[in-house]
Amino acid sequence: MTDEENRSRGHEHHTHCPGNSFGGNGTQGVPDVSRFIDGGVTGISMLVSDVLGSPLWILILLINLPFVAVGYRQIGTRFAIKSTFAIAGLALCLALVRYPDVTTTNF
């Protein structure tokens, strides 16, 4: 592996921090007020969290596990590791950061 490839990989990890922060803001800042639900795994996690009262960050981790496992088998180890760090970072942001309500508009 060249030095440039190593620097590029390090840069990828630095983009996860702001990305997870923005993702957490979009996940918690808008839906709480407007009752707007995102799609995909995040949307399913939000619905289950609303019904069961479970913390959203735990459900984000748990519901993503099968998809990471499939990605590991189909795409490879590097994909699974990067996905795991990104998902764990989002879950950590959702668990620790209290985001303000972004909108007061009810849809």
Tokens of 36: 């707007």
Residue 22 lies in a domain: yes
Does 81 map to a domain?
Answer: yes
- Residue 95 is predicted with a pLDDT of 85
Domain presence at residue 40: yes
Please tell me the pTM assigned to this model.
0.69
Q: Which is nearest to 41 in space by CA: 21, 26, 63?
A: 63
The pLDDT tens digits of the residues spanning 46-101 come to 889 889 999 989 999 999 999 999 999 999 999 999 889 888 988 888 888 776 66
Domain count along the chain: 1
**Where in the sequence is the domain holding 20, given as residue range(s)?**
3-96
Give the whole-angstrom CA distance, residue 29 versus residue 94.
Answer: 11
Note whether residue 106 is domain-resident: no
Contact 22, 89 (CB under 8 A): no
Query: Does residue 11 surpass a pLDDT of 90?
Result: no
102 falls within a domain: no
105 domain-assigned: no
Domain assignment of residue 103, yes or no? no
- CA 99, 100, 105, 106 torsion: positive or negative? positive
Position 45 in a domain = yes
CB atoms near residue 96 (< 10 Å): 9
